[in-house]
């Protein structure tokens, strides 16, 4: 029996995660500190959303929280978004390759790719949104401190 797309990618999760970490480190110098083990769960969640194996809404919450965390850590939103898009390109490439292997270009293949592109856009948007919200909250908390110091 042929594995499902989700199973096929899950069987290669460590390899895909290492590729994502490597590409991000190569293309986004602000994120050279990332290690594959640190992003494994994010890659797993994104792939599950890309393949339609998991509801995108729950994955978006994870990426909003990631964006907020990066904002609190002081990461520039442009670098953060660039890192996300770099990782997403790897995942799209891997999802497309796996889908083509399991479902030669047919309606199923097109459906998988529509899921992947839709999920990628929504995931990046949610993470950037979380980053911006957390940045605004952090700025709001600093304002009283700045006013009281003057």
Residues 6 or more apart from 12 whose CB is under 8 A from it? 94, 98
In a domain, 147, yes or no: no
**C-alpha of 135 from chain center:** 19
> Has residue 140 been placed in a domain?
no
Q: Is residue 149 in a domain? A: no
Domain count, the chain: 1
Please report whether residue 141 resides in a domain. Answer: no
Q: Does residue 146 fall inside a structural domain?
A: no
Q: What is the pLDDT, as a whole number, of residue 43? A: 96
Please give the residue that has the higher pLDDT: either 81 or 135. Answer: 81
Of 68, 50, 54, 39, nearest to 112 (Cα)? 50
Structural domain of 120: 5-135
Distance separating alpha carbons of residues 81 and 101, to the nearest angstrom = 30
In the structure, what pLDDT confidence band is assigned to residue 146 with cuts at 50, 70 and 90? very low
CATH number at residue 42: 1.10.490
Predicted structure pTM score: 0.75
């Amino acid at each position: 029996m042929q594995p499902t797309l989700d199973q096929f990618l899950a069987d290669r999760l460590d390899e895909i995660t290492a590729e994502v970490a490597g590409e991000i480190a190569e293309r986004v110098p602000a994120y050279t500190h990332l290690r594959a083990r640190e992003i494994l769960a994010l890659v797993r969640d994104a792939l599950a959303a890309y393949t339609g194996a998991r509801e995108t809404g729950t994955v978006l919450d994870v990426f909003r929280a990631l964006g907020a965390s990066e904002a609190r850590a002081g990461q520039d939103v442009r670098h953060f978004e660039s890192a996300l898009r770099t990782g997403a390109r790897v995942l799209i490439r891997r999802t497309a390759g796996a889908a083509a292997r399991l479902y030669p270009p047919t309606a199923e293949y097109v459906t998988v790719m529509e899921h992947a592109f839709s999920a990628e856009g929504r995931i990046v948007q949610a993470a950037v949104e979380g980053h911006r919200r957390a940045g605004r909250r952090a700025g709001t908390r600093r304002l009283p401190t700045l006013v009281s110091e003057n």
